[in-house]
Amino acid sequence: MSSCSNALVICGTDTDVGKTVVSALVVQGLGATYWKPVQSGLEGGGDSGRLQALLQLPATRLLPEAYRLQTPVSPHWAAELEGITIDPARLALPAVAGALVVETAGGLLVPLRRDWLQIDQLAAWGLPVLLVARSGLGTLNHTLLSVQALRQRSIPLLGLVLNGPLHPDNPATLAALAQAPVLAQLPPLEPLTAAGLAAQWQAQELGRTLKAAMGAGPTPHR
């Protein structure tokens, strides 16, 4: 069954930074089970639906959300609009065979309810985090703040994935200032296909680097 040694959480520095694309990349590469515990906004079937359409996963590798909220706004507000309060007890990690990839909603400090942030849930899980960030302008500030927030709560960070057009300086600057490895740089893929993701997984040797990072534990902070 899945344990902390073969489970990870994919988080973003912001909304719409490509968490689901990176989740699909990692789920396919590791042969993992996918879980998006909180989904706000169900257009297109939500992120689980989009990932399923892309990868054609068997039902056993696509877990149902704990909360499926209709409105595409912050989870705490989407829940309130439906008369729901998100209960962290319902977000307990599921037991699965093999690896588990958990995708969060929004950025690290998004509230799940008015007294419980996404990062509080990350601390409760205690799983290592793969942080997805934009590749271009603005990513330095957003990414460094996110790394700082994780480290202030002693949440292990596996490394960074930069999503978007390749940048000549940001990867090296982030690796140096965040003291965390840039494990992959994922360029825009048009069209986005499972085969294209598989090619990126192989070309960037993400299987090797990700497994090495998971085996080594959190990145040191000096």
> Alpha carbon of 102 to those of 21, 54, 131, 171, 212: distances in Å?
13, 17, 12, 24, 19
User: What is the DSSP pairing of strand 182-186 with strand 129-134?
Assistant: unpaired
Extract the tokens encoding 202: 């192989």
H/E element, 183: strand 182-186
Catalytic residue of the set 19, 36, 76, 134? 36
19 an active-site residue?
A: no
Extract the tokens encoding 114: 């008015």
Q: 132 near 18, Cβ under 8 Å?
A: yes
Residue 218 CB: number of other CB atoms within 10 A? 17
First to last CA, the chain: 35
Extract the tokens encoding 80: 């309130």
Extract the tokens encoding 31: 């042969």
Q: Which residues are catalytic?
A: 36
